[in-house]
Every structure is written in structure tokens, then in C-alpha cells.
Amino acid sequence: MFAFPTNDGLTLTAIAWPHDEFHRFRSDIEGNYFDTLRMMPSLAERLPAARRAERFTGMADVPNFFRQPFGPGWALVGDAGHHKDPLLARGISDAFCDADLLAAAVDDGLSGQRPMLEALARYEQLRNERAMPDNELNLAMAHLIGWDSPDVLRLRAALRNNPTQASRFFAANMKVIPHEAFFNPDNLQRVIAQAGMRQEQLATMLD
């Protein structure tokens, strides 16, 4: 779940549940939504005084696919060509990266550096090479693989009262900063020390 400020002084709160739970969740959207929010103490405290400002919006249709993104006279960027589970929050960045690659390919075609269809085929190849590794990671994370291992839970506990490092943890997982900028021995040692945890707990967190 997450919460952040949005328009007109309102706060957006969102929750996600495993896909298998969709029909159970939908049988009582409001009840299940608030029960979920109440699991987070800082939100639970604020809920009694909160007013719901909008209708609920939900979705379960988040397919994962790569399509051929071009043909004679047309090309696709963003979700139309490569859709994915929103877990890693890559969609907007991917759409911009695709647009950048496609612009270069179309320029190659129009300026006669190579035939247009060959330039577009190269666009597809570069798009796939760039997006596939993130896609694999995204799929693994969307299955929640390893999210509740003892090491991950310990690391999250260590980050609980450390908003600076918690932001870096999410930025590293979402590739906003390099993975090793957070997951390196010195930094993890700092996180452990700041949380007052024992040094022996450090070793396995680097795996």
C-alpha cells in the first residue's frame, strides 16, 4: 500500500493484493479496502478523521507482453508495445525510452541512413534489449518471490525509522539509482548500525 499527496490538498491511498484474491476482495470492496489500510499504523490513526473524496478505482487486467512494435507506416511505443505489471513502476520511463529510440529510428529511415523497415526492426531489437532485464525482474517481484524472506524482513525492519535510507532502498529496487548504490557492504553496515542491529545480520543481506 502507499499514500501520497495529490490535487486539491487530497491524499491518494492505494493498495494492491495478489491477483488470486481478486474475487474475494471484490465481494466487499469498501470493507476490505479499509481493513487493508488499517494494517498500517500511521494510516490507521488518521482514518477515523478522514473523508473519502472519490469513488473507488480498481483494476486486475495488467497483462505482461511484448508486441512487435512496427509495420509499414506504423509504430508503437509505451504500453501499446510492451505492457507489464505496475509493480516496479517502469511504465512511464519505458514509454519515454521507447519514444527516444523510435525517434532515432525514424530519423535514420527518413534521412536515408537505412531503409525505414530495417530502422524500425532495429528499434524493436534495442527496445527489447533495454526492457527485457527489467521485465524479468518485474515479473519475479510481481510474484512476490523473496519478499518475506527473513533477510528482507530484517532489512525492512532496519529501514522502518530511517526515511532517507528507505527512499534509497526503493530507488535502488526501482532502478532510479544503481542497485549497488544501496546494496553495498558499507551502506548496509550503516543501515544496520543506524537501526542498532547486530553486525552478523549483515552478511546474508548482500546475497
Shortest Å distance, C-beta 59 to ligand FAD: 6
Smaller CB separation from ligand FAD, 78 or 184:
78
Smaller CB separation from ligand FAD, 48 or 73:
73
Shortest Å distance, C-beta 191 to ligand FAD: 24
Specify the pairing of strand 65-66 against strand 2-5: unpaired
Smaller CB separation from ligand FAD, 73 or 112:
73
Smaller CB separation from ligand FAD, 91 or 195:
91
Alpha-carbon gap, residue 19 to 142, rounded angstroms: 10
Q: List residues binding ligand FAD (CB under 6 A).
A: 59, 62, 78-80, 86, 89-93, 95
Shortest Å distance, C-beta 196 to ligand FAD: 33
Shortest Å distance, C-beta 206 to ligand FAD: 28
Shortest Å distance, C-beta 137 to ligand FAD: 15
Smaller CB separation from ligand FAD, 95 or 197:
95
Alpha-carbon gap, residue 200 to 11, rounded angstroms: 40
Smaller CB separation from ligand FAD, 92 or 132:
92
Shortest Å distance, C-beta 49 to ligand FAD: 26
Going by C-beta distance under 8 Å and a sequence separation of 6 or more, which residues neighbour residue 62?
Answer: 83, 84, 85, 86
Alpha-carbon gap, residue 31 to 47, rounded angstroms: 13
